[in-house]
A = this chain, B = another copy of it.
Amino acid sequence: MPTIDDVARAAGVSASTVSYVLSGKRSISGPTRERVKRAIAQLGYRPHAGARALASSRTNVIALMAPLRVGVDVNVIMQFVTGVVTRAREFEHDVLLLTQDDVVGIERVSNGSMVDAVIVMDVEAQDARIPTLVGLRQPAVLIGLPGHTQPLSCVDLDFEEVGRLALSHLTALGHRRIALIGPPPSVLDRHTSYADRMLRGYRAQALVDDVEVLVEPCESTSAGARRAVAAVLEHMPDVTAVVVHNESALPTVVSALRTAGRRIPDDVSLLAVCPADVALSQSVALTSIDIPAQQIGAAAVDMVMERLAGSGAVQTRLFAPQVTDRDSTAPRDSTALPRT
């Protein structure tokens, strides 16, 4: 591999000039720049990342800690990751992948100066990683909100508002008995940020709208979904609307409701909280609140970059949820009246 000195020699300039051509940190005359660029292209020169990191204390790599366990809304995770990687590349950064369980990994890559920043997914209310993150030399961004405010940047969909919105959308349609088929018990037990907040908003809105609600956790399997539907129908036989916040359960919830003789949306309205493409790939186009995972991932990178540029302060950024009406919701009395 050619080094910066090889390039400098080929272009008849000094190494620092090559460096400055590459970084743009000082002005270079047109002809010089041209010669240097030609030499770089000719030799196929690539700066050595380690040397660069050593000299500049910048690695152009950010760490992303993602929950690689299977079963938990794998699509959403993929979209977060895609958003992060794609946006990072736009800033000439690469992404180092850390897994959830590798908590010491944060310190390893941070203290070992392998990365410029850390993005953490799947945050829990009392997240064990937070003390570590707070002590880091590099900026950290959470996707999700910890239970208590921390000196850390956070970004997420406003899940509390998701809960309120889901419920109020259905009550506005006249529904008074509404069930939530939620995330798996394990997610709830861990007080995963998004699940907790969604539930809080949902329950709060139930009080406001004075409607009866039911919350049924749901394993991310077909059997789990069927069990959840059965439980809902048993405990709330006259349910007329269901909110589903569990991507993998979605197809089975839909078919289980039908099997139980509940037409969608004639007998039961269904509102899903999931990425838009998931809502659209079900057997009915589902009315849904989109989880803009890719955008959130991209926003996390933006916040990282602002912090690295020195222009960004610690902040929390919440995306406002929106209901997209599709074919799975209807007014409560839609069957009582003739339909078109």
Please list the residues of chain A having a beta carbon within 8 angstroms of any beta carbon in chain B: 1, 44, 46-54, 59, 61, 64, 68-71, 74-75, 77-79, 81-82, 85-86, 89, 94-99, 102, 105, 107-109, 111-114, 137, 220-224, 226, 251-252, 254-255, 275, 277, 280-283
Contacts and interface: CB of A to CB of B under 8 A. Distances in A.
Contacts of A46: 107-108, 111-113
Contacts of A85: 68, 97, 99
Nearest to A278: B70
Contact of A50 (B53, B69, B280): B53
A105 B60 CA distance: 14
A70 B64 contact: no
Contacts of A220: 281
A170 to B, nearest CB: 23
Number of copies: 2
Contact of A281 (B50, B82, B221): B221
B82 A112 contact: no
A81 B77 CA distance: 13
11 contacts: A1-B137, A46-B112, A48-B113, A53-B53, A70-B277, A74-B74, A77-B78, A81-B97, A94-B96, A220-B281, A252-B283
A282 B226 CA distance: 10
Contact of A102 (B75, B89, B109, B254): B89
Contacts of A252: 251, 255, 283
B53 A49 contact: yes
A281 to B, nearest CB: 3
Contact of A99 (B1, B74, B79, B86): B86
A68 B74 CA distance: 12
A71 B96 CA distance: 23
A89 B111 CA distance: 17
Given A74-B75, A75-B74, A283-B226, A48 B97 contact: no
Given A46-B112, A50-B54, 18 more contacts: A1-B113, A49-B53, A50-B59, A50-B113, A61-B114, A68-B78, A70-B82, A81-B97, A82-B99, A86-B99, A94-B105, A95-B96, A97-B97, A221-B282, A222-B251, A222-B283, A223-B281, A255-B255
Contacts of A54: 48, 50-51, 54
Given A49-B50, A94-B109, A281-B222, A70 B59 contact: no
